[in-house]
Amino acid sequence: MTNAHTASAPANAVRRARRALAPLEPVSGQARWVLGIGFFILFFAVWAFFTLGGYVSPTFLASPVTMVQEAILLFTQFNFMFDIGMTIWRVLAGFILATLIAVPLGIAMGAHKGVEAFLEPFVSFCRYLPASAFIPLLILWAGIGELQKVLVIFIGSVFQIVLMVAVCVGAARRDLVEAAYTLGANPAGIVKRVLIPGAAPEIAEILRLVLGWAWTYVIVAELIGSSSGIGHMITDSQALLNTGQIIFGIIVIGLIGLVSDFAFKALNRRLFAWSSL
């Protein structure tokens, strides 16, 4: 009996491994954390192997040890916390401004086909325009101060949010709309009591995704005419060939974005606990 059990153990392990690799097979929360952290460990191990082993010149890629040393210098001698704070402020200002304008427009486009026919061609045209192309004009219009940087993030985010929200609201279930009309709801009530509540979880998910894009726009905005911010630090480090500081700046952006993403997910789960998103 013991031998049979021992012999079946490897077979069971193989079956569990095959099942874990099956398409759409769910992964436990603990396994997700282990796998996610494991990739970062592998990434840093490969990076350390090639840089500390002398396979890559420090001029082109600093080692993890050098990056940590440069990070300490940034915080202790160059007030890098101020740069981080300025970058976060610019992202939030541009993103919130875009949200306040884009979400109502997107709801109007999704709910009313006439509004969609009027605005959709222009919005679709604008969303293909790179935000960085507006920087020369924005410098002429707003100078090189904070407004110019906020507007770059705004332009990069607003048209994406409008279209995605419009598609989300327009995909509402017709049976719910017809049921609301049957119960005596007017058009304004349909939008307020059916379309918006039904689309709210997906709209929140759209905002979470676009916030990630906003982080790419802020670095572009800070590369030109900026005296503070993570992008400004990266530009200065590039002039000095300090790849340790450049890499650390990139990692800081990724970490802040990851934290904001987790915070957005947690808020969405709390606000829309009844949703499957």
**pTM of structure:** 0.83
Q: Quick check: 125 pLDDT over 70?
A: yes
Residue 3 has pLDDT above 60, yes or no: no
So where are the chain's domains? 65-271
Number of DSSP helices (H) and strands (E) in the chain, helices first? 12, 0
Rg of the Cα atoms in the chain: 25
Average pLDDT over residues 239-265: 90
Rounded to an integer, what distance in angstroms lies between the CA atom of residue 101 and that of residue 151?
13
The Cα–Cα gap between 246 and 85 comes to: 17
Tell me the C-alpha distance between 43 and 24, whole Å. Answer: 25
Q: Which residues of 24-37 are buried (b: 16+ CB within 10 A; e: fewer)?
A: eeeeeeeeeeeeee
| Spatial contact of 234 and 219, defined as CB atoms under 8 Å apart | yes
pLDDT at 140: 87
Mean pLDDT is lowest, of 173-187, 197-211, 216-230, for 173-187
SS3 at position 22? coil
Share of the chain above pLDDT 70, in %: 90
Other CB atoms within a 10 A radius of the CB of residue 244 amount to: 22
The most confident of 33-37, 42-46, 58-62, 193-197, by mean pLDDT:
42-46
Q: Please answer whether residues 201 and 242 qualify as being in contact, where contact means their C-beta atoms are separated by less than 8 angstroms.
A: no
**pLDDT at residue 174, rounded to an integer:** 78
State pLDDT tens for residues 255-269.
998 898 888 888 888
What is the predicted pLDDT for the residue at 245? 94
pLDDT digits (tens, 9 = 90+) for 154-164: 999 999 999 99
Residues 178 and 235: beta-carbon distance below 8 Å: no
User: How confident is the model over 23-34, as a mean pLDDT?
Assistant: 77
Which ranges of the chain does DSSP label H, i.e. alpha helix?
2-20, 29-52, 64-77, 80-111, 113-127, 135-142, 146-170, 174-182, 187-190, 196-222, 230-239, 243-271
- Calculate mean pLDDT across residues 106-134: 90
Please give the CATH superfamily to which domain 65-271 belongs.
MetI-like (1.10.3720.10)
